[in-house]
Amino acid sequence: MNELAKELAGRYGARGWHDIRKDLASVEVDAIRIRDVMAYLRDEAGYGHLSFMTAIDNIERGAFTLSYALRDHDARRGLIVHADVDRAEPTVDSIHLLWGQAWTYQREMREWFGIDFPGSPRVDEEFVLEGWEGPPMMRRDFDSLAYSDATYAERPGRVTHDPASHMREKLYPEAAQ
């Protein structure tokens, strides 16, 4: 297992190999090398199956962390490859030529996070939304509740409690006072 870590570190400068559990590990690479790393993992290291790809909005450090989950079905192990991209100008190489379903994920990330994948088929088309005018909605600074309150009419009479304080008042009324 660690041979692969060494190999990736030597070839592509991968770092931070971390064994999540005995059949799953994660590793971090530079976003600019993501396509080379993926091609290597697919063709040389046996990780032939792309489970999914997604992004995490790490707004505190101004970066999107991309996660590519691969699986080697013969060796029965998985690998998650991370790559950070700049949140202000997120552009990543497309891997749609490596896997036939990757373009859908890239289209999703383009719409949900605003990450661009130049060259990916239909990447600028709408995926699940229609006529969306707001910012990419999976970014952490997009407030779903505020948007919903501003856009959709509400039926009066709905009461929302904060679970913690509500339970405290219900269970220990004397302490709450």
**Site residues (vs another protein, CB under 8 A):** 20-21, 23-24, 26, 48-52, 54, 56-57, 67, 69, 73, 76, 78, 80, 99-101, 103-105, 126-134, 137-138, 140, 142, 144-145, 147-148, 151-155, 157-158, 163-164, 167
Q: In the complex with another protein, which residue's Cβ is closer, 103 or 117?
A: 103
Q: In the complex with another protein, which residue's Cβ is closer, 111 or 116?
A: 111
Give dist(CA 85, CA 63) in Å, integer: 5
Give dist(CA 125, CA 56) in Å, integer: 22
Q: Are 67 and 81 in contact (CB under 8 A)?
A: yes
- To the nearest whole angstrom, how small is the minimum distance from the Cβ of residue 10 to another protein? 25
- To the nearest whole angstrom, how small is the minimum distance from the Cβ of residue 24 to another protein? 6
- To the nearest whole angstrom, how small is the minimum distance from the Cβ of residue 39 to another protein? 13
What DSSP assignment string belongs to 17-52?
A: EEEEETTEEEEEEEGGGHHHHHHHHHHTS---EEEE
Q: In the complex with another protein, which residue's Cβ is closer, 12 or 68?
A: 68
Of residues 33, 31, 28, the one with CA closest to residue 14: 28
Q: In the complex with another protein, which residue's Cβ is closer, 10 or 155?
A: 155
Give dist(CA 60, CA 142) in Å, integer: 14
